[in-house]
Chains A and B, each alone.
Chain A
Amino acid sequence: MSAAPEVPAHYHDGRSARRFEVTLQVEDGVAHVTGEGVQRSAPLASLRISEPMGAAPRLITFADGAFCEVRDHAALARLLAATGHRDRAHVRWQFAPRAVALAVIGVALLALGIWRFALPLAAQWVAPSIPEAVGQELSAQVLEVLDAHLLGPSALPEPRTRDLAARFAAMPASEGAQIPHRVLFRDGRRLGANAFALPDGSIVVTDQLLALAADDDQVMAVLGHELGHVQERHGLRLVLQGSMVALFMTWYVGDVSTLLAAAPTVLIQARYSRDMEREADAWAARWLRANGLSPLLLSGMLERLEAAHRRAASEGGETGYLDSHPASGDRIRALREIP
């Protein structure tokens, strides 16, 4: 064995701020610290060797808390190499460019996978165990905001709305644990022809949608679609997924600002809806068939909504970024293919 490498270091005894100039050596697995007024030896295995962190000194700590501060990284690396010391894997990764690049890709793929697959599954799994009171409170708040800012009272005569509601209520939903539902009629104002479901089973339909529908069967198809959202607990699942994404974004860019964190969260949420729309379509198709109606009623209604939408867009009117029924073309095709 060649002469053991010597490493210059500062020794601190943990009792005062006094700094001792020492040299560190390792012979036969025993570390020796030698310098003016310091003479200590201990088995290398009993010392804690801090991980490398760039230019930062590495600390070699004795069991009693006294330690050597080493700034000569090259000399220490030679000494540690001679003793066979090896840093833990993830410590070596973080300073290896290739591993760092892989970690960047890994984070991106992982985040994408969790957001696209794991999170929706988790939300679907958790949603049924959320107490009903939560959904009711949430729905009441949302409806209050909508009524105050976006919707007006329905202009339809009361007997007409009562008949529609009664017909819908008389159509039994055949499957699954049932959430009781009710239909609310409103003037859509800027929202136009629209229908949406709240987690507590409230289904809101706008006068404009009733005017757009060819007949009451088509209205029933839309209500069935919204009932699908209710029974599949899409509202709660959206809230659960959204708050998890928000939590992650706040943590990820927490140092920057909460404003930055909120923006992507909103954009990301629009993406969830498409899978849910398909789920609700499928639910509505089964429900329509069980009640002796054709699933094509729903695709017919979707076509009408899309045409109205295009008309509004070409007239330079409000198209709305937060379209609650995206990718209608795909959905119409899917509904037609239902056997």
Chain B
Amino acid sequence: MSAAASSDLEQAPADSVAAGEPLPLSFTGRGAEYFGIWIVNLLLTVLTLGIYSAWAKVRRLQYFYRNTSLAGSAFDYHGSPVAILKGRLLALALLVLYNVSTQFAPLFGAVVFLALAAVFPWLLVRSLRFRAWNTSWRGLRFGFDGTDAGGYRVFLLWPLLTAISFYLLGPFWHQRMAAYQRNHARLGATRFSFHGEVGPFYGIYIAAGLIFLGVLVVSGMVAVPVLRGLAGDGEGAFRATLGQMTVLPLAVLGLAMLFVWSFVSARLQNLMWNHTRLGEHRFESRVRPLRLFAIIGTNFLAIVLTLGLFQPFAAVRVARYRLESVRVIAAGSLEEFTAGAQQAVAATGEEAAEMFDVDLTL
């Protein structure tokens, strides 16, 4: 055995940890590496007119999952490209059907819309099941056993209530959705549970709205005098000023939206994980909104400047920050998870699972 290898193994966190000791998620992906996977995926996808995109998705997720470790062991993704391809063809067909019918035959379009609304929650539940079942850690599969009735509540009833209430009930919807997804998820035979109340969801959305308004007011107070000064030069400067008048507010608006988005997604990630348990184990997430904004903002600029070639680096940067912000507060040994009864059943009936499971997440 080589010396390098043995020191590698010693560095990996031991898993017979004392209760309460935090175990960080670690991420070992690198932008330059993922760029190779990404560009080969892109080439083969274009060459096959999109067919390869399903295989590309599997390799992308495998790269990210296998580079993510908890207690020295990696996660893995097992999705079948054929199932993903079926899901994508289905999603594309629904999208085309919806777009064409609403464009050219509004009445028929309305019927199609209702039919889609009726089918969509059912599909989403299957998609959640597919995603969970195809994720594993230490050989134990995750699972999702939410009922269809629950799916219709969070993917149809709550969106309707949210729309009817002019989004005032939006945070309720979000909380119900989080609870549905996590309370029905498991790792092997061990269940996840969600303990977040509605209050903090309202807190995040209200704060986001106030921040957005604040940014707009402040930037307006700065921008208006500046623009007025520029416009004061008279007719000659008209064209230049016209450009600035449209570009400047758009840039400010874009930055404000990017910041609010970073804020909401950082706070939501923290809220979700800090109120999630796996058996008796807890999680701790500490994503800082400003740090996330810095990463996403620079990513955005770099992607524009490189005509998209920076995308794989950007994805790795965001994944590293988000993942390494999460720690597991173990209540005992992580070795004690066992496979559920369903694992054995589904492992033999895998083909049937692939027949009926679709993956809608593009």
Contact = CB atoms under 8 A, between A and B. Distances in A.
B140 A104 contact: no
Nearest to B68: A56
A54 B5 contact: no
Contacts of A69: 73-74
A65 B139 contact: yes
B44 A90 contact: yes
Nearest to A15: B339
B47 A110 contact: yes
B130 interface: no
Contacts of B334: 17
Contacts of A39: none
B120 interface: no
B43 to A, nearest CB: 5
B228 interface: no
Interface in B83-107: 100, 103-105
Contacts of B33: 53-55, 95
A8 interface: yes
A139 to B, nearest CB: 11
Contacts of B28: 54-56
B37 interface: yes
Contacts of A260: 304
Contacts of B76: 59
A13 B139 contact: yes
Contact of B104 (A14, A93, A137, A256): A137
A16 B43 contact: no
A114 interface: yes
A12 interface: yes
A74 B73 contact: no
Contacts of B42: 103, 107, 252
B361 to A, nearest CB: 12
Interface in B326-349: 334-339, 343, 347
Interface in B125-161: 137-140
Given A56-B67, A56-B74, A72 B309 contact: no
Interface string B167-179: 0000000000000
A100 B73 contact: no
Given A17-B137, A110-B43, A53 B62 contact: yes
B32 to A, nearest CB: 9
B35 interface: yes
Contact of A17 (B40, B63, B188): B188
B308 A253 contact: yes
Contact of A12 (B1, B36, B104, B139): B139
Contacts of B335: 16-19
B37 A94 contact: yes
Given A56-B28, A72-B4, A14 B66 contact: no
Contacts of A137: 103-105
A254 interface: yes
B288 to A, nearest CB: 21
Nearest to B100: A134
A93 B40 contact: yes
B67 A55 contact: yes
B306 to A, nearest CB: 11
Interface in B258-313: 300, 303-304, 308-309, 311
A65 B76 CA distance: 12
Most B-side CB within 10 Å, residue of A53, A55, A103: A53
Interface in B1-51: 1-2, 4-6, 8-9, 12, 15, 28-30, 33-37, 39-40, 42-44, 46-47
Contact of B67 (A15, A53, A103): A53
Given A12-B139, A53-B62, A74-B4, A253 B311 contact: yes
B73 A255 contact: no
Interface string A16-60: 111101010000000000000000000000000011011111010
Nearest to A70: B5
A133 interface: yes
A325 interface: no
A75 interface: yes
B362 interface: yes
Nearest to B40: A94
Nearest to B16: A19
B104 A53 contact: no
B5 A19 contact: no
A67 interface: yes
A179 interface: no
Interface string A187-200: 00000000000000
Given A17-B188, A17-B335, 10 more contacts: A8-B6, A16-B188, A55-B30, A57-B66, A71-B8, A74-B5, A94-B37, A137-B105, A256-B308, A256-B311
26 contacts: A8-B9, A12-B73, A12-B139, A15-B339, A17-B138, A17-B139, A17-B188, A17-B334, A19-B335, A21-B9, A53-B33, A54-B63, A55-B67, A72-B8, A93-B36, A94-B36, A99-B36, A100-B36, A103-B39, A103-B42, A133-B104, A134-B100, A251-B53, A251-B362, A252-B308, A256-B300
Interface of B: 1-2, 4-6, 8-9, 12, 15, 28-30, 33-37, 39-40, 42-44, 46-47, 53, 59, 62-63, 66-67, 72-74, 76, 100, 103-105, 137-140, 188, 300, 303-304, 308-309, 311, 314-315, 334-339, 343, 347, 362
Q: Which 3 A-B pairs have the closest CB atoms?
A: A94-B36, A12-B139, A56-B66
